[in-house]
Amino acid sequence: MTTQTADMPAATLDLRIPRTRRWPTPLAPLVTGGSTHKDIVRAWLLAASLPAIWGVALFGPAALTLILVAIATAVGTEFFAAAIRGRTIIGGITHAALTGLLVALTLPATAAWYIAAAGSLVAIIAGKTIFGGFGHYLWHPALVGRVVVQLLFLNSLTLGMTQPTWPILSPDRVFVGDIRSTHPLEMSGYSGWSSLPKRTATDAVLMERPVQSLRRFSNGEIRPDINSTNQDVLRYEPLFRDVLPPWQDTILGCVPGGIGETCTLTLIVAGFYLIYRGYLRWQLPVVILAAAAIAAAIFPIESAPLPIGSALRNAESGGYDWFPIFTVENGRAVGVAYVLYHLTAGELMLGAFLLAGDMVATPMRARGQALFAAGVGVLTIFMRLYGVLECECYWSILIMNSLVRTIDARMKRPVLGMEPEAEPA
């Protein structure tokens, strides 16, 4: 019996297993989850195209032109920037197209084509490329582009508060009507978009944006009524009766505004699709809307002066209306209606479902995102009620984007087995 140490085998190394195949040896883990960044951006693009289609229906070929110009400029700029830097496009042209599409969704259909092009250009260059591209930017690129064109073209008739009324196509002219042939609409007695008269000389009607009405209301510019029977002051009744369109119109999007801003329904469907795919955390839109609702419910609004000659004028003029949500007039809970209008009017829905949830510019953890979303919701309503800037939701998203790194640093998870005090401050 030979005694042989194991680590020094005898010279019988010809006894080998025949080696026939070689396989690659990547590092563990050897199966991956399946969703890559390309899938994510594609899903976002698909989700964003839904309100875009609805916007083309409501605002006609002009909206389609704007969308195509914005996407083409964004993709072209991305190629140009990649060529200058001499490297391939990180994240692909899909992300550039998504950025361009989101810029177009925030613009009104009456904007000139060069405004969309400038917005996309700024979004790709100043919002994305100078930070190092996809994955590195601090602020949402599309919103950077949007607020920059807002400031650049402030005096243009198409943007800003200089134009009180904005157009929307009549129901019989959807998809094909010319958004620039307009006539103004008398809002008192208006019973909704679907009941607009057919076969008029113009394709579109002009009316005030609901968010603009709410802003005027919060500044005390809408005159209250005096109920002649019991001498009650009706502050909210004139707003709903004479200024705002019906609430279901703001749900369906049949109100003037940005191309993708108006239709709450398509935005909710797009958001649900992203949540279902797992690319948007449900906490983010839910908390944005909840925070905005709470803020609208409790933030005071300026009381409008009563009509001259009213007996109540001296007793009630000036000051603020506190807790608007609890207001009841003529036995109707008008405060609740006021809060619901705040949620569906303007760009809040687009911001909550398609703009705030950009992965790169939001906190990592779900609870960090909830904090971020609460900030967005409250700031939006705050700026809408008391601020002077247009696009208040976009500004508040950008403000909260700047705080993302701070939120992330404060929202670390406790490491298993480590005392929380051992964590760095």
Partner 1 sequence: MTILQNLLGSPRTFEGGLFLADHKSATARRPIETIHADPQGPGLFVPLAPRSDLPTRPIVSPGTHVLGGQCLAEAVGVDSIPIHAPTSGHIKGFSRVWSPVDGFLPCAVLMPDGRNDFITPATIWADESFVGQLAERGVFCSQPRMAAHTFILQAARAGVTELIVNAMETEPYLSSDLRTIVEEPGRIIDMIGEFADALGAHRAILALPNRHRRVVKRIQAEAAGRHIDIVSLTDKYPQCHPVLLVKSILDREVEPGQSVLDIGACVLPLQVVRAAAEAWLNDRPITHAQITVSGTAALHSGVYRVPIGTPISQLIDRVGTIARVEQVIWGGPLTGVALGRDDAVVTIDTTAILLMTGTSTHEPVPCIRCGWCVEDCPVGLDPSDLMQLEAEPSITAIEGLHLQACIDCGLCSHVCPAELPIAAVIKRRRNSMTTSALPVIDAAPAGPAAFPPKTVTAKERA
Retrieve residue 306's tokens: 């009563």
- Residue (124 or 383) nearer to partner 1, CB: 124
- Residue (96 or 118) nearer to partner 1, CB: 96
CB of 96 to partner 1, least distance (A): 14
Asked if 353 contacts 267 with a C-beta cutoff of 8 angstroms, the reply is yes
Look at the block and give the residue holding tokens 């208040």: 392
Retrieve residue 111's tokens: 């904007």
Nearest to 60 by CA among 194, 201, 187, 182: 182
Beta carbons within 10 angstroms of residue 3's beta carbon? 4
SS3 annotation, 84-111: HHCCCCCCHHHHHHHHHHHHHHHCECCC
CB of 27 to partner 1, least distance (A): 4
Asked if 254 contacts 58 with a C-beta cutoff of 8 angstroms, the reply is yes
The whole-angstrom separation of Cα 58 and Cα 64 is: 11
- Residue (39 or 221) nearer to partner 1, CB: 39
Asked if 245 contacts 210 with a C-beta cutoff of 8 angstroms, the reply is yes
Q: Strand, coil or helix: what is 29?
A: coil
Pairing relationship of beta strands 182-184 and 204-208 according to DSSP bridges: parallel
- Residue (46 or 359) nearer to partner 1, CB: 359
- Residue (299 or 353) nearer to partner 1, CB: 353
- Residue (13 or 308) nearer to partner 1, CB: 13
- Residue (2 or 229) nearer to partner 1, CB: 2
Q: What is the H or E stretch that residue 228 is in?
A: none
CB of 374 to partner 1, least distance (A): 17
CB of 43 to partner 1, least distance (A): 11
State the residues that interact with partner 1 by CB under 8 A.
Answer: 1-7, 9-10, 12-33, 35-37, 39-40, 90-91, 132-136, 359-366, 368-369, 412-418, 422-424
- Residue (4 or 230) nearer to partner 1, CB: 4
CB of 14 to partner 1, least distance (A): 8
CB of 23 to partner 1, least distance (A): 5
CB of 268 to partner 1, least distance (A): 22
Look at the block and give the residue holding tokens 């810029």: 103
Query: What is the arrangement of strands in the sheet containing 182-184, beginning at the earlier edge strand?
Result: 165-169, 204-208, 182-184
Nearest to 79 by CA among 124, 135, 127: 124
CB of 399 to partner 1, least distance (A): 18
The DSSP bridge partners found for residue 205 are 168, 183
- Residue (90 or 148) nearer to partner 1, CB: 90
Asked if 205 contacts 190 with a C-beta cutoff of 8 angstroms, the reply is no
Retrieve residue 125's tokens: 């260059």
Q: Strand, coil or helix: what is 211?
A: helix
Asked if 355 contacts 140 with a C-beta cutoff of 8 angstroms, the reply is yes
CB of 281 to partner 1, least distance (A): 8
The whole-angstrom separation of Cα 224 and Cα 313 is: 11
CB of 138 to partner 1, least distance (A): 11
- Residue (283 or 396) nearer to partner 1, CB: 283
